[in-house]
């Protein structure tokens, strides 16, 4: 037998004797169940917060005949990027430490029609008595050097389980269609690693400029909308 085959046989024996032993499988089972349970709490929290936004959209649609929300996206952080973050930040590998320190396991992205809708929805969410604000980052007022704009909120909401109530953190990113358009494309371009350093700096500058242009467009669209609604209101008042 050549060396390659000897190593292959040894590896297979190691896996059979160690990684497939009853003790090891029991170890995985004991750790996997609490992890799966924790992830299911985050999925429930996403459902809770998503419903809150859907209810607000529905109410606005009935009351003012318009939908401030263009779309909602949600995601649970993948196991891979969760492990990466735990490692990079040196967080202890316990469920409590993960729950406490990693605030973006449950993520919701709310795409709004106009910039003012973002703050209006934020206010509507935060005035609900079961929502607690943990952290707020306004990257619209202070965009990131990349040009990234969005309003980030970390909120805590209760989820009601069979015999227990748990508070769970959810990261909510609120942005306009224009901000989302820019962030999605920039995210795609960011992973194109084959670009040489000198060119990538130039491209980064250009991307930041595109974000500015996009923000100006948002502003103009907001002004147009405000004009239209004031004309509408005047018309309504005259008729009344």
CA 161 to chain CA centroid, Å, is 24
CA distances from 48 to 45, 65, 179 (A): 5, 24, 25
Distance of closest approach, residue 126 Cβ to Mg ion, in angstroms: 19
d(CA 91, CA 83): 10
DSSP-derived 3-state class of residue 135: strand
d(CA 57, CA 55): 5
One of 171, 202, 212, 233 is an active-site residue; which one?
A: 171
Residue with smaller CB distance to ligand GTP, 10 or 75: 75
Per CB under 6 A, 70 contacts ligand GTP: no
- Distance linking the first and last C-alpha atoms of the chain: 95
Helix%, strand%, coil% for the chain, nearest 5: 60, 20, 20
How big is the chain by its Cα radius of gyration, in Å?
24
Say which entry of Mg ion, ligand GTP, none residue 144 contacts (CB below 5 to 8 A, set by partner kind). ligand GTP
Per CB under 6 A, 99 contacts ligand GTP: no
Distance of closest approach, residue 186 Cβ to ligand GTP, in angstroms: 4
Are 212 and 147 contacting, i.e. CB atoms less than 8 angstroms apart?
Answer: yes
d(CA 19, CA 11): 11
Say which entry of Mg ion, ligand GTP, none residue 137 contacts (CB below 5 to 8 A, set by partner kind). ligand GTP
Per CB under 6 A, 50 contacts ligand GTP: no
Per CB under 5 A, 50 contacts Mg ion: no
Say which entry of ligand GTP, Mg ion, none residue 225 contacts (CB below 5 to 8 A, set by partner kind). none
According to CB under 5 A, which one of 48, 104, 116, 186 is a site residue for Mg ion? 104
d(CA 200, CA 182): 17
d(CA 36, CA 62): 39
d(CA 37, CA 41): 6
Residue with smaller CB distance to ligand GTP, 131 or 179: 179
Is 186 among the catalytic positions?
no
d(CA 117, CA 179): 13
Distance of closest approach, residue 156 Cβ to ligand GTP, in angstroms: 16
Distance of closest approach, residue 214 Cβ to ligand GTP, in angstroms: 12
According to CB under 6 A, which one of 67, 113, 146, 222 is a site residue for ligand GTP? 146
Distance of closest approach, residue 136 Cβ to ligand GTP, in angstroms: 10
Question: Among all residues, whose Cβ is closest to Mg ion?
Answer: 104
Binding residues vs ligand GTP (CB under 6 A): 104, 137, 144, 146, 148, 152, 183, 186-187
Residues at the site binding Mg ion, with contacts judged by CB under 5 A: 104
Catalytic residues: 171
């Amino acid at each position: 037998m050549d060396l390659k085959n000897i190593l292959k046989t040894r590896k297979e024996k190691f896996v059979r004797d160690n990684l497939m032993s009853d003790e090891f499988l029991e170890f995985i089972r004991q750790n996997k169940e609490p992890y799966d349970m924790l992830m299911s709490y985050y999925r429930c929290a996403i459902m809770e917060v998503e419903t809150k936004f859907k209810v607000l959209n529905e109410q606005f649609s009935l009351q003012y005949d318009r939908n401030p929300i263009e779309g909602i996206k949600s995601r649970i952080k993948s196991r891979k990027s969760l492990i990466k973050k735990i490692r990079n930040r040196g967080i202890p590998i316990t469920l409590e430490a993960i729950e406490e320190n990693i605030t973006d396991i449950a993520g919701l992205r709310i795409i709004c029609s106009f910039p003012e809708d973002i703050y209006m929805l934020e206010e509507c969410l935060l005035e609900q008595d079961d929502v607690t604000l943990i952290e707020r980052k306004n990257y619209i007022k202070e965009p990131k050097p990349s040009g990234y704009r969005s309003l980030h909120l970390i909120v805590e909401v209760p989820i009601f389980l069979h015999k227990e109530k748990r508070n769970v953190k959810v990261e909510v990113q609120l942005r306009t269609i224009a901000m989302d358009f820019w962030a999605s494309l920039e995210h795609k371009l960011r992973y194109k690693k084959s670009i040489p350093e000198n060119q990538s700096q130039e491209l980064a500058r250009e991307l930041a400029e595109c974000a500015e242009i996009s923000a100006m467009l948002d502003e103009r669209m907001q002004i147009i909308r405000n004009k239209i609604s004031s004309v509408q209101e005047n018309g309504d008042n005259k008729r009344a």
